[in-house]
Amino acid sequence: MKYIEEYRNRDLILKLSDHIKKSVIRDYSFMEVCGGHTSAIHRFGIPSLLPPEINLISGPGCPVCVTATDFIDKAIEYSRMKNVTIVTFGDLLRVPGSESSLEKEKIRGADIRIVFSGLEALKIAMSEQEKKVVFLGIGFETTAPGTAVTVRTAKEEGLKNFLLLSAHKVMPPVMETIASEEIKIDGFLCPGHVAAITGSGIFNFLPLKYRLGCVISGFEPTDILQSILILVRQINARSPATEIQYSRVVTTNGNLTAQDQMNKVFEHCDANWRGFGTIPGSGLRLKSEYEDFDVEKRIPVEPKLFHDNLSCICGDILRGLRKPENCSMFRKKCTPENPVGACMVSDEGACNTYFKYHAE
Amino acid sequence: MCLSVPAKVISIDREMAEVSVGGAIFKAGLHMVSNVSPGDYILLHAGFAIQKISDEEAVETLNLLNELKSYENE
Ligand code: SF4
């Protein structure tokens, strides 16, 4: 397939691997922020192509994984209400809440439906006007513009029964949290599809303020290896900067129309992240002009005490402090069929990825 | 859920397109991209085209990699 096969060329992969091996002069730790990168890195066996000096650490860029338990609990409360239909991306179904999951609620009879796009949620709301349709909005800057278009369309169509529960988040604050934390990294493989929307500028503070390398990478093997090579060279030259490897999709300014959609509908708010707690300014909530679509305003639910499974170390994994193998439940009590924590649920989750692509 | 894939635009009806990902057909909202025509490639994410893929840049990246290759072979 075009824009895929060319970047999986075996000769180029081996050549890049060679270049990286010849370029290392010290140890390097790089964090791949995006769960899509984590998944691609292990699927394509990238670690086996790297010299031992390079350590890749997965980060907090899997939207399902960072969605906190209280969000799932709220979604479950809505799903138990009469005449409410929950519409969601599939992965969220299996993420454990404090005492249930959306999947379990669905089996018990709750009306929960899976879609690929917010526009499908809108269709359900249009055709079933007697129902309140609650769309679970999760995802970073890549996904939030689509939700913004969906909400604006709902407003234009005068839909009264479409509601949003937003856990949308933005990337820079959590990357800043990591940059200023105890974990020692030399640079980031920056999320390419976030940058497709935002442009490359949102990462500039990382080299400027924290002296960290930043390469916005594509998702094919040569993309990832080329990005790692650029990072190694930046670190060797002691000249960290924001560079775009994924130039077929990412520009300096990004997608201005998508940014405009997002800015019209959302404003920044504090948000709760699994593993990090509340990060100021890292969430997106509907602006007051759109608050009729905000389910938390229209039908407030009492936030009850929630609890996480304390033996799941997803939080530490998302912060780059530990790896899936360090969890006592990995492969034993916790598997993709029976996930104990969010990182085992999603295809982009570190635990799920390690489970699938690493032998026991 | 967060996957974004290159997709070829097959047909366009106002703000919606039919796109092909390796032969499988999906719908893509074109609300965020302009100047897209059938035959173009877009990046499909959660039901929306989030960016048009630049062919020049795609070729440029590969050229750079191929240069790297020949440099090694010298
Ligand atoms: S293996 Fe399961 S329980 Fe352990 S950290 Fe990963 S998701 Fe949590």
Mean pLDDT of A151-177: 97
- Cα separation, B9 vs A334, whole angstroms: 40
Q: What is the pLDDT of residues A35-88, one digit of tens each?
A: 999 999 999 999 999 999 999 999 999 999 999 999 999 999 999 999 999 999
Nearest Cβ partner for A117 among B46, B51, B55: B46
Helix, strand, or coil (residue A53): coil
pLDDT tops 80 at residue A3? yes
Residue nearest atom 7 of ligand 1, based on CA coordinates: A341
Task: Note whether A222 contacts B: Cβ–Cβ < 8 A.
Answer: yes
**B74 vs B19 pLDDT, higher one:** B19
Please, which pLDDT band fits residue B71 given cuts at 50, 70 and 90? low
- Cα separation, A109 vs B72, whole angstroms: 62
Q: What is the pLDDT of residues B45-66, one digit of tens each?
A: 999 999 999 999 999 999 988 8
Determine how many CB atoms are found less than 10 A away from the CB of residue A202.
Answer: 21
- Residue A232 covered by a domain: yes
Across the strands, what pairs with B29? B16, B48
Determine how many CB atoms are found less than 10 A away from the CB of residue A118.
Answer: 26
What residue in B sits closest to A153 (Cα-Cα)?
B31
- Residue A56 covered by a domain: yes
Instruction: Report the atom number in ligand 1 closest to the C-alpha of A314.
Output: 5
**B3 vs A290 pLDDT, higher one:** A290
Instruction: Give residue limits of the domains in chain B.
Output: 5-72
Please, which pLDDT band fits residue A1 given cuts at 50, 70 and 90? confident
Please, which pLDDT band fits residue B2 given cuts at 50, 70 and 90? low
Q: How many structural domains is chain A composed of?
A: 1
Tokens of A153: 């369309």
pLDDT tops 60 at residue A340? yes
- Cα separation, A339 vs A333, whole angstroms: 8
pLDDT tops 90 at residue A311? no
Domain range for A210 is 1-324
Mean pLDDT of A268-293: 96
Say yes or no for a CB contact (<8 Å) between A247 and B3: no
- Residue A353 covered by a domain: no
% of chain B residues with pLDDT over 90:
76
pLDDT tops 90 at residue A2? no
**Closest Cα in chain B, distance from residue A301 (Å):** 26
**Closest Cα in chain B, distance from residue A223 (Å):** 9
- Residue A330 covered by a domain: no
Say yes or no for a CB contact (<8 Å) between B48 and A120: no
Please, which pLDDT band fits residue A12 given cuts at 50, 70 and 90? very high
Closest by CA to A194, choosing from A145, A263, A267, A136, is A145
- Residue A346 covered by a domain: no
- Would you say the CB of residue A44 lies under 6 angstroms from ligand 1? no
pLDDT tops 70 at residue B69? no
Please, which pLDDT band fits residue A90 given cuts at 50, 70 and 90? confident
Provide the pLDDT for residue B1: 66
- Would you say the CB of residue A64 lies under 6 angstroms from ligand 1? no
pLDDT tops 80 at residue A107? yes
Question: pTM for the full model?
Answer: 0.94
Q: Are B50 and A254 in contact (CB under 8 A)?
A: no
- Cα separation, A185 vs A251, whole angstroms: 25
Residues of B in contact with A36 (CB under 8 A): 2-4
Q: Are B8 and B26 in contact (CB under 8 A)?
A: no
- Residue A233 covered by a domain: yes
B5-72, CATH topology level: SH3 type barrels. (2.30.30)
Say yes or no for a CB contact (<8 Å) between B45 and A247: no
% of chain B residues with pLDDT over 70:
89
Q: What is the DSSP letter of B54?
A: P
- Residue A347 covered by a domain: no
- Would you say the CB of residue A228 lies under 6 angstroms from ligand 1? no
Residues 6+ apart with CB under 8 A from A39: A347, A348, A353
Residues 70-129 of A with CB under 8 A from B: 89-92, 115-120
Task: Note whether B25 contacts A: Cβ–Cβ < 8 A.
Answer: no
pLDDT tops 50 at residue B74? no
Tokens of A137: 């909005």
Mean pLDDT of A168-183: 92
Q: Are A170 and A141 in contact (CB under 8 A)?
A: yes
CATH number for A133: 3.40.50.11740
% of chain A residues with pLDDT over 70:
100
Mean pLDDT of A233-255: 97
Provide the pLDDT for residue B3: 81
pLDDT tops 90 at residue B5? yes
Q: Among A29-43, A161-175, A198-212, A294-308, which is the least confidently predicted range?
A: A294-308
Average pLDDT, chain B: 90
pLDDT tops 50 at residue B6? yes
pLDDT tops 80 at residue A113? yes
- Cα separation, A148 vs A261, whole angstroms: 6
Provide the pLDDT for residue A356: 93
pLDDT tops 60 at residue A23? yes
Provide the pLDDT for residue A178: 94
Pocket test for ligand 1, best of A66, A323, A340 (most atoms within 8 A of CB): A340
